[in-house]
Structure 1
């Protein structure tokens, strides 16, 4: 790569960083070696820089950089090794694999604290990224992780006991290696990362997590351009397409069909086609699904996530599946931390959208959980980590940490709240009511028109689109003013009401379309009228039928499609994301029901076609009817915690 090209890419990245997009490179780790980035500030990963070998004499550890480690197929991956200065070892070893350029970041907690604690630290660029050979394999990181761990165990400087850790995509690589069950992997810490890549990463209830995947792939494709066999002039054009897409969000997301993103053409973003050609839970996703392998895993893990993190379900599903199916050593020793964070605020006390949860929201994951975890498993030190509560979670509203021996915590009562109205629940000025009593029967239903060419805009929530569409808590008032949003609100609470666990909506619906989406938000309305999104869920109706023969109980219903009969009534079960929140006295509980949340989710065209391939001519307006009669009682089930 020429200096001119490198300078262009650096200028491009800095421009994107100023637009609030730099955090798309991934969740918090440390930034460049030898420096410290506070946990409250996500690192700005400049992935346009190629890895360059350096010899530094001022570092407080011994370093060997860009060792080319050969994988089973002959491809070599660029690897850095850091060991205690002047010591021969052998040392227990911590492995961190990254797609974001090992030269520009450090693992969570930093290199020096781990080396000072007696570890060798190994960092490696993914295949096809920066200093490594080969083609980028996306989420399929299991074999390379296994081979790297095997290589570590053969080195004189390693004891052969390996711990693996990482956040976000680095955590995905950690889980994929765990899934392969390498003998040298003793313990692991996959943090803010998915386990079921279909249901937690790419799709929510079958609806594509469009905005996050679009922004992430665009922000992380600049280095891919540098690997293409094209002229510098052409490379500049391709980078310009990516820059226009990123800086133009959310407006630039309005492309149809969604699978044909011009910025990803010509080899720039081949993963885009892979993700969207596999819209069902097929072999592409099953091969990646960690949950299927839980009974065969022998590596104890700690996990952490946040209520507004895009990958929350990966951690709660992973924990629950280990509790149900894990081996004794994995089940008895696992730990789970759930904070109030979004993906890029983890694990800090930074505001999450509009809400500031206070200094108590910060959790020093590296020093209070991860390093003590590895000290116990790799160095036989009694750090107290095994006596920690199995689950630590942040109760929003009360803004305090709580502990439990299970998730959801014991003492939860599933409490049904019915949706009701006089037939006019459209918008927040309609008559929608949320009540623990039976539906009144004064009107049997509410209706709205869903036009995919005029979708409900995204306001906060669990997403990762940089500064263009902010994640976390945002006022839903502007959304709730729309007639295509049904709004059901309780009376003011006379005492606090706490919930903790999974939330499920049961909707009796009718539509004029052969397929459509239904989306549900749980909202906390304050005395000042601020309408705060607490959790949400979605269901693409073609995936409503559960396939009990599926190979993964959490995704089996998404293996096959079944289109709707227009005019027929269906009962849809919609899973919202887990949450712990207290609705305070004087507040009101609210449920919003609609059919779009764009660009966070892609738009259902209301047609029996592959959604990613839908053109503007496929887009149809549908009439949606939600029933709330005694015979068809639509409701939401809240996990009330005493």
Structure 2
């Protein structure tokens, strides 16, 4: 039985934790207390540490109290340079040492029994993996929910491109709550008045001219990650940014890597589990739901939502986030038998629903929980589906000697993003009130891309789309390849790989790939539905996961390797497997100007003529992780 809420809570706020370089980090400590007197109990208890850039009060305060009532000391800390903590903020770079110092400070307190576990989602997951690279002696367990693995490979950047969510974050949740913005109402008002949607529609920003110029340290790191793409750049080897480079020396403690099929960290979550479960002796677990990013998203926590985007999964998809973490920590920090029946891999297999319309208008995609002992699942058979000149997607490899399809890619008119593995593509609602009348912390966030599964058609609120709105497949720069209607259900679960054999007429370009479950027309959905499962992109100059750029020779055929994020889905009988190939997906990724110029901020544009090859020698294909029936 899990720990029950048997204690009162005693809170000590803004406790100072001094780091090795003298910076003081503000930390709130919640302790179990005697229900009658309200005084902290004397018995030492295991501690949980949550480090955040979003302010340690509000919802964070409430979950600190939740665990303290159940017999844990909980420390919630403002990261360096954020809210009440001292220091200069450069995203993630100081988190390894700051986290280590805080773990060891916490373990040394009389009210802690020497065991420290870590918790946190998104940024709070990054900082856990960051401190783990330093292997703190008193770190005993981690619950890492939706965090990164290698920032250059897939999170900050993605196969050579930049994930524009980080610019959106810098302009909103990042910059709006920067120390300088919190201290200067004029700066905060300027950021509150920034319409991120308009900035993205107007094209790339330039350093010294962006709204971030009012907080220069934020503009510096934002432009660093947008403009630095080579592995030799010092940023990409920092232990707070690239955990993959420090797997071997990282802490060997029981860890849960939790994530979601429509999260912005899906690949990183699976990568971390796969690599560390093999390298470490401690128990490691993978838990993947059908959700989107975050656990405390409005109006419901993502784990407590039965839908993602336009897809409904049913009550089967619901999980209690706090209870799940409590079971884990009770087992590993209190030696209770609360986690022993947890499978090593637990994941939600999407797509078992009947495709009907739910009460709120979503498509019932359905699904059910499955389990396994490793990832990828041991019985997985990887099968290639090849694209053909007539638009077919088939397991038959092309036999023709020369076949290709050519399209025009205009970087001024990129393919719009419609849902997917998105987070932080946001702007503050535009209000007439100033921040004193309507504080930034109370302003609603407007989603610019959608997140989760969506029918791949534009709407009036789709960024970059114009009337008449309609299916993305109708664009001239989107190549569509689809299987015949399936004669029986096909189940996939695991990593996805795409190989596009492409050529272009200039020095650089991008190729994109998107895997789609194409639902047939029905009475409730007469046009059917093209539901995105996962996507990826490859920037030509960084093809093959190059460490350094290598521009393209016009007309030469190259292999553009992509890894759309892992997924688990049943393509039901009568559905089609579909692969869309293009050269942009905006604003999920920044747009290649096709000039071979700067990675970001190029002032020149060049329309590219791009070609996808599908013949015996250059057989473009997607590799799917097929599960046995």
TM surpasses 0.5 = yes
Which of 318, 336, 346 is the aligned partner of 2:286?
336
1 CA distance for matches of 2:27 and 2:206?
Answer: 37
TM-superposed deviation, 1:251? 5.7
Q: Which residue, 12, 17, 29 being the options, matches 1:69?
A: 17
Match of 2:583 among 585, 589, 595: 595
SS in 2 for 1:416: strand
Which residue in the other structure is 1:117 paired with? 70
Q: How does 1:219-618 map to 2 (within 5 A)?
A: 219-224=172-177, 227=180, 235-236=185-186, 238-245=187-194, 247-249=195-197, 252-257=200-205, 262-267=210-215, 269-270=218-219, 271-281=221-231, 282-287=233-238, 288-296=241-249, 297-324=251-278, 326-329=279-282, 333-344=283-294, 346-368=302-324, 370-383=325-338, 385-398=339-352, 399-422=367-390, 432-439=391-398, 441=400, 444-464=403-423, 465-466=425-426, 467-477=447-457, 478-528=471-521, 529-545=528-544, 557-615=545-603, 618=604
Q: Tell me the secondary structure at the aligned position of residue 400 of structure 2.
A: coil
Alpha-carbon distance between aligned partners in 1 of 2:475 and 2:29, rounded to the nearest angstrom: 56
Give the counterpart of 1:630 among 616, 619, 623: 616
Q: 1:568 to 1:207 in 2, by over 3 A?
A: same
Q: How many correspondences in the alignment?
A: 549
SS for the counterpart of 2:248 is helix
Please say if residues 257 and 614 of structure 1, whose CA atoms lie closer than 8 Å, have aligned partners that are also in contact. Answer: no
CA 258–371 in structure 1, closer or farther in 2 if over 3 Å, else same: farther
| Match in the other structure for 2:58 | 104
Aligned residue number for residue 78 of structure 1: 26
Q: CA deviation at 1:514?
A: 0.6
RMSD: 2.0
1:523 Cα deviation (Å)? 0.6
In 1: Cα distance, 2:125 partner to 2:510 partner: 31
TM-score (norm: length of structure 1): 0.82
2:513 touches 2:537 (CA, 8 Å); kept in 1? yes
Q: Distance in 2 between matches of 1:274 and 1:310?
A: 21
Q: Give structure 1 stretches of 5+ with no counterpart.
A: 1-58, 423-431, 546-556
Q: Partner of 1:13 in structure 2? A: none
Give the whole-Å Cα distance in 1 for the aligned partners of 2:123 and 2:171.
15
Q: Matches of 1:582 and 1:479 in 2, distance apart?
A: 23
2:100 aligned with 1:146: yes
Contact 1:250–1:599 (8 Å) recurs in 2: no
Deviation at 1:152, TM superposition (A): 1.0
Shift of 1:277: 3.4
Q: Give, in whole Å, the separation in 1 of the partners of 2:617 and 2:91.
A: 48
Cα offset for 1:640? 1.0
Tell me the CA shift for residue 621 of structure 1: 0.5
Confirm or deny: 8 A CA contact 1:241 1:262 kept in the other structure.
no
The question of whether the paired residues in 1 share the 8 Å contact of 2:83 and 2:179 is answered with no
Confirm or deny: 8 A CA contact 2:176 2:188 kept in the other structure.
no
| SS of equivalent to 1:198 | coil
Mapped to 1, the partners of 2:506 and 2:478 lie a distance apart of: 18
How far did residue 435 of structure 1 move? 1.2
Give the SS at the match of 2:60.
coil
CA pair 117-502 structure 1, distance change in 2 beyond 3 A: same
Q: Which residue of 1 aligns with 2:162?
A: 208
Q: Does the Cα contact within 8 Å between 1:298 and 1:327 map onto a contact in 2?
A: yes
Asked if the contact 2:261–2:288 (Cα under 8 Å) also holds between the matched residues in 1, the reply is yes
Summarize the Cα distance change of 1:454–1:515 in structure 2 as closer, same or farther, 3 Å threshold.
same
Mean CA deviation greater in 484-493 or 294-303: 294-303
Equivalent residues in 2 for 1:12-51, closer than 5 Å = none
* Whole-angstrom CA distance in 1 between matches of 2:153 and 2:328: 28
Q: Distance in 1 between matches of 2:277 and 2:115?
A: 25
Deviations 1:335-386 (A, max 9, x none): 1101111104632224211101111111223212x21221122212222x14
Higher helix share: 1
Q: CA deviation at 1:484?
A: 0.3
Q: What is the alpha-carbon distance in structure 1 between the residues aligned to residue 384 and residue 585 of structure 2?
A: 25
- Counterpart-to-counterpart distance in 2, 1:65 and 1:240: 28
Three-state SS of the structure 1 residue aligned to 2:225 is: helix
Counterpart of 1:576 in 2: which secondary structure? coil
Gap runs ≥5 in structure 2: 1-6, 34-38, 295-300, 353-366, 427-446, 458-470, 522-527
The 1-side partners of 2:388 and 2:76 are apart by 56
Q: 1:449 to 1:240 in 2, by over 3 A?
A: farther
Q: Distance in 1 between matches of 2:206 and 2:273?
A: 34
Residue 141 (structure 2) aligned to one of 187, 199, 205: 187
Shift of 1:439: 2.1
Distance 1:223 1:567, change over 3 A: closer
From 71, 80, 84, the equivalent of 1:131 is: 84
> How many angstroms does 1:458 deviate by?
0.8
| Residue 223 of structure 1, CA deviation | 4.6
Specify the SS of the correspondent of 1:272: helix
Moved more, 339-348 or 437-446: 437-446
Work out the CA distance in 2 between the residues paired with 1:454 and 1:561.
25
How far 1:111 sits from its partner (Å)?
Answer: 2.5
Cα distance change of structure 1 residues 560 and 248 upon mapping to structure 2, 3 Å threshold: closer
C-alpha distance in 2 between matches for 1:225 and 1:371: 32
CA distance in 2, matches of 1:128, 1:570: 45
Contact kept, 8 Å, 2:392 with 2:482, in 1: the verdict is: yes
Query: How far is 1:224 from its partner?
Result: 4.6
Tell me if structure 1 keeps the 8 A contact 2:401–2:617.
Answer: no
